[in-house]
A = this chain, B = another copy of it.
Amino acid sequence: MEIGLIGLGRMGTGIAKSLLRSGHRLTVFNRTRARAESLQSDGANIAGSVAEACRSSVVLTMVADDAALEALVFGESGVLSSLRKDSIHVSLSTISVALSDRLSAEHAKAAQQFVAAPVFGRPEAAESAKLSVVAAGPSASVERCKPLFESMGPKLLVVGERPSMANVVKLCGNFLIATVLESLAESLTFARKSGVDPQMLLDFLTTTMFTAPVYKSYGELIVQGKHEPAGFALPLGLKDVRLVLQAAESAGVPMPIASVLRDRFITALARGNQDKDWSVIGRVAAEDAGLPSVRN
């Protein structure tokens, strides 16, 4: 397929490589041109502007947050004004349900298509085509994009016709991961102060009832106090919890654990951990129990 891709952070770059490897013709754009050039040897065309990247019939965007996507889409010579009729904008970013609904409405007004397709997985998974993709949007559009999604990873969930439903699923997933972090932080702190070796506890838990990888990987980071370099930075964690709470409030759903997470992330940031991995809340929980924090 002929595809445009805008936004070459670590995730976007990884996805670009997977798509190129699968034989798609890719035109990429990034504000900092150097990142785009590094993909030339993989076969990517480099666009000189957003508008140029929008000449394909399918354009993917992968940026940091709502503000970045709003600027990219609604700004002058942005995606909305550059995309042709019937072309599809596929948003891969983790954005708010509200923005997803707005994008859906604005693209429809311009006779364009909008598909939300947030992904689960780290940059390494993006590069090795092992992402899980959650897509929602008009079914014909989602159908047209399937070859793309299949090049990004083996797992695809199509949620429904309203794009923002995919964002809801993404937010649910991130909420559950954050809850795993916090529940491990609390229980490992309780164990430490009770004289139980936290590594022993973690090994037991993850080989019996809590075999999911997320317990193992984040549990290790918490036990070892290893929160740098950040695989997923603390401010992004707070952002996602905020998006969950906003969307749940709009839907009329109280989420008390999400409230706890929010307070914890704010405290962690206020204590100077903005460059740390979001698992650093394990350290904050330990400090709240008067423990010298584990530092690696």
Contact = CB atoms under 8 A, between A and B. Distances in A.
Interface of A: 97, 120, 132, 134, 155, 157, 159-160, 162, 164-165, 168-169, 171-173, 175-177, 179, 182-184, 186-187, 189-191, 193-197, 200-201, 204-205, 207-215, 238, 242, 244-245, 247-249, 251-260, 262-264, 266-267, 269-272, 288-290
Copies in the complex: 4
Given A172-B201, A179-B183, A190 B247 contact: yes
B263 A262 contact: no
Contacts of A134: 204
Contact of A191 (B172, B210, B263): B172
Contacts of A168: 190-191, 194-196
A200 B157 contact: yes
At the interface, is chain A mostly helix, strand, loop or mixed? helix
Given A186-B255, A257-B182, A260-B256, A208 B132 contact: yes
Contacts of A258: 186
B262 A183 contact: no
Given A97-B194, A288-B270, A189 B242 contact: no
Given A132-B204, A176-B187, 13 more contacts: A120-B208, A132-B208, A157-B200, A159-B196, A172-B191, A172-B201, A172-B205, A175-B183, A182-B257, A193-B252, A193-B253, A270-B290, A272-B290
A157 B204 contact: yes
Nearest to A212: B212
B266 A252 contact: yes
Task: Name the residue in A120, A159, A186, A200 with the highest tally of chain B Cβ atoms < 10 Å from its Cβ.
Answer: A186
Contact of A252 (B169, B171, B289): B289
A288 B263 CA distance: 10
Contact of A289 (B208, B214, B253): B253
B205 A257 contact: no
A253 B272 CA distance: 13
A177 to B, nearest CB: 7
A290 B271 CA distance: 5
Nearest to A178: B183
Contacts of A159: 196-197, 200
A251 to B, nearest CB: 4
Which 8 pairs, one residue from A and one from B, show the smallest C-beta to C-beta distance? A270-B290, A259-B259, A254-B263, A212-B212, A252-B270, A193-B251, A179-B183, A172-B187
Contacts of A266: 248-249, 252-254
A173 B254 contact: no
30 contacts: A155-B208, A159-B196, A159-B197, A160-B196, A165-B194, A165-B196, A168-B190, A168-B191, A168-B196, A172-B190, A172-B191, A175-B186, A176-B183, A176-B187, A176-B210, A179-B179, A193-B251, A194-B247, A209-B213, A210-B214, A212-B212, A212-B215, A254-B267, A254-B270, A256-B259, A256-B264, A257-B257, A257-B260, A259-B260, A259-B263
